[in-house]
């Protein structure tokens, strides 16, 4: 479901003159009520255990890094690169999460994960090379690629932090706090840099782009954000980071079908290797 994000964004850019900041603002505005409802329901149910302010502070920081900064970089990058290129670059974040866990928390990387990382990187290189061969790169292509790379780095930091905070706060409470913090950051950014009157036109159901934004908020944000946190409770951040690489592959196929972006034999070979890397992780020790 996360993998559909790039598709809704590209369709929104194609069908209107909306800018990245406005689209990101609308995404979070439509998501906001769901996170408030879940957080209030959790607090009513779990009155007996209140984590420390330290954990809440870090949940806010992770939300700002993972869904404000990371999303902003991604939305800006998608103005200049294809959905296929965006996904190929983002293949890097699962392995970055594994390395961050190793460097900061001394979490061991086992042979199974090393093999998965090697296979995944080879696949990424092949797929990226295949995409580069068939693109007519514009002057802002490298800038867009760099923005997407920053998205991958900040999201890897978010994944690592999430793995440490969910046991303390619970998946639903943590996700709600992180997303509310990100929403506050995005709202502040928007008020400072944009005109609020721009929002009204895009929130009109008569406007076709409204339904792309609604899908971006619900299908590609609210539902998968809770699924991701629940999954991390069960398998940990290292394995989750690598397994979620399958989403990048899904976007490449969606971009081919829905956006008519070409999908070459070389790309197919590279994405196939990424799937092999994911299967190595899922294989029992």
Distance between CA 67 and CA 186 in Å, rounded?
A: 9
Q: Calculate mean pLDDT across residues 166-178.
A: 87
The answer to whether residue 249 is domain-embedded is: no
Q: How much of the chain, in percent, has pLDDT values that exceed 70?
A: 90
Q: Indicate the range of 46-55, 56-65, 179-188, 249-258 predicted with least confidence.
A: 46-55
Q: Give the model's pLDDT for residue 77.
A: 92
- Give residue 285's pLDDT: 44
**Average pLDDT of the residues of the chain:** 83
Residue 201 pLDDT exceeds 80: yes
Mean pLDDT of the region 188-199: 87
Confidence check: pLDDT of 149 > 70: yes
- The pLDDT value recorded for residue 128 is 74
Do 18 and 212 touch, CB atoms closer than 8 A? no
Establish if 127 belongs to a structural domain.
no
The region of weakest confidence among 5-9, 131-135, 222-226 is 131-135
Residues 180, 221: contact at Cβ < 8 Å?
no
pLDDT attached to residue 50: 60
Min mean pLDDT across 140-149, 159-168, 246-255 is at 246-255
Contact indicator for 113, 55 with CB cutoff of 8 Å = no
pLDDT tier at 282, thresholds 50, 70, 90: low
Task: State residue 284's pLDDT score.
Answer: 46
Q: Is residue 277 part of a domain?
A: no
Burial of 104 (0-12, 13-18, 19+ CB in 10 A): exposed
pLDDT band, residue 46 (cuts 50/70/90): low
Q: Is residue 266 included in any domain, yes or no? A: no
Answer whether residue 43 is part of any domain. yes
Nearest alpha-carbon partner for 23 in 214, 160, 156:
214
Which has the minimum average pLDDT: 5-14, 49-58, 161-170? 49-58
Give which of 254, 283, 251, 268 is closest to 123, Cα–Cα: 268
The number of folded domains in the chain is 1
Q: Residue 115: which pLDDT band, with cuts at 50, 70 and 90?
A: confident
% of the chain surpassing 90 pLDDT: 28
What's the confidence (pLDDT) of residue 11?
A: 92
Q: Which two tokens stand for residue 229?
A: 């946190």
Average pLDDT over residues 175-197: 91
Q: Does residue 271 belong to any structural domain of this protein?
A: no
The verdict on residue 84 lying in a domain is yes
32-60 burial code (b ≥16 CB/10 A, e <16): bebbeebbeebeeeeeeeeeeeebbebbb
Q: In this structure, is residue 71 part of a structural domain?
A: yes
Residue 205: partners with Cβ closer than 8 Å, 6 or more residues away: 211
* Between 70 and 48, the higher pLDDT residue: 70
DSSP per-residue codes, 91-146:
THHHHHHHHHHHHHH-----HHHHHHHHHHHHHHHHHHHHHHHH----TTHHHHHH
The Cα–Cα gap between 180 and 225 comes to 12
Q: State the pLDDT at residue 278.
A: 66
**Domain residues for 202?**
2-102+137-234
Q: What is the pLDDT of residue 49?
A: 55
């Amino acid at each position: 479901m996360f993998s559909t994000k790039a598709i809704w964004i590209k369709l929104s850019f194609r069908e209107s003159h909306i800018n990245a900041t406005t689209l990101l603002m609308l995404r979070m505005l439509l998501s906001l009520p769901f996170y408030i409802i879940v957080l209030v329901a959790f607090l009513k149910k779990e009155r007996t255990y209140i984590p420390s302010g330290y954990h809440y502070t870090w949940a806010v920081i992770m939300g700002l890094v993972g869904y404000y900064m990371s999303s902003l970089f991604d939305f800006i990058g998608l103005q200049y690169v294809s959905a296929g290129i965006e996904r190929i670059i983002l293949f890097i974040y699962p392995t970055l999460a594994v390395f961050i866990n190793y460097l900061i928390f001394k979490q061991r990387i086992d042979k199974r994960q090393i093999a998965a990382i090697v296979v995944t990187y080879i696949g990424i290189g092949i797929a990226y090379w295949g995409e580069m061969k068939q693109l007519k790169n514009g002057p802002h292509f490298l800038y867009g690629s760099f923005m997407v790379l920053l998205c991958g780095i900040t999201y890897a930091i978010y994944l690592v932090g999430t793995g440490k905070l969910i046991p303390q706060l619970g998946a639903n409470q943590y996700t709600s706090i992180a997303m509310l913090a990100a929403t506050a950051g995005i709202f502040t950014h928007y008020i400072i840099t944009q005109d609020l009157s721009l929002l009204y036109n895009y929130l009109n159901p008569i406007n076709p782009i409204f339904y792309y934004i609604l899908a971006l908020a619900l299908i590609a944000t609210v539902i998968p954000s809770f699924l991701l946190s629940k999954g991390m409770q069960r398998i940990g951040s290292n394995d989750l980071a690598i397994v979620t690489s399958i989403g990048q592959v899904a976007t490449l196929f969606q971009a081919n079908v829905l956006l008519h972006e070409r999908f070459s034999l070389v790309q197919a070979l590279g994405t196939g290797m990424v799937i092999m890397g994911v299967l190595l992780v899922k294989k029992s020790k």
